[in-house]
Amino acid sequence: MLELKNISFAVPEKEIVRSVSFKAEKGKLLVITGPNGGGKSTLAKIIMGIEKPQTGKILLDGCDITPLSVTERARAGVGFAFQSPVRFKGLRVQDLLRLAAGKPLAAEEACVYLSEVGLCANSYIGREVNASLSGGELKRIEIAMLLARGTKLSIFDEPEAGIDLWSFGHLIACFKKIRARRDGTVIIISHQERILEIADKIVVIADGKLTDEGTKNEIMPKLLHGCMETCELLKGN
């Protein structure tokens, strides 16, 4: 389980995250949503250790990981998937999966992870991770890497960014599979309705503050109502 206690983060002349506290239960899929520029991606980077909070604590399974570096958090079981996955020229997909697993990985085992994310193993196992792969393919390979690592906590920062609708459909299927496994905590930063619909819990961040949290059934009607009100105001203008 992940627990954030009074997390705050600021840069000169701007407070980006303001005393945010919430819990992400083990085996659950939590989506952090809210307006653009509200502090969602910064919060994800704080959880991973890319940014350091000025105040507050981050607990993973009861252990304080606040002082740990990115590398130390990765060793503790935290995984992070960026909006734009990195391309590794000269490395094959199988090489990446072996690195993620941290041990020798037979081709058959690597293929299992690729199949989990809806990729034809025979077609991808020997592919080089370069410009020949689409954004959607890279993101699914990145998810396969997190599965190979067996992370306690997997964080996805706006996974829908830069991919087409076809790839987005496959991405949703991947998250549904991960959610069904129930063997780790998943946090997704997103404002896409189809991702919100598969959440166990939704946390709303706006202007750096936690403004609401609850189940999908509790939060979705409020979000949709807010969108309708915004549309009406725009029509009026």
pLDDT, average across residues 172-181: 78
pLDDT score, position 182: 63
What pTM value is reported for the model? 0.84
154 versus 235: which is more confidently predicted? 154
- CA–CA separation, 213 and 235 (whole Å): 29
Least trusted range by pLDDT, from 67-71, 118-122, 220-224: 118-122
Range of the domain at 192: 2-236
Say if residues 102 and 149 touch (Cβ distance below 8 Å): yes
38 versus 163: which is more confidently predicted? 38
Average pLDDT, the chain: 85
Helices vs. strands in the chain: H and E counts, helices first? 9, 12
pLDDT score, position 86: 65
Please report, for the domain that includes residue 220, its CATH number.
3.40.50.300
pLDDT score, position 235: 46
Say if residues 41 and 34 touch (Cβ distance below 8 Å): no
Number of domains in the chain: 1
The β-bridge partners of 22 are 4
The fraction of the chain above a pLDDT of 70, given in percent, is 91
| 228 pLDDT tier (thresholds 50, 70, 90) | very low
- CA–CA separation, 44 and 131 (whole Å): 27
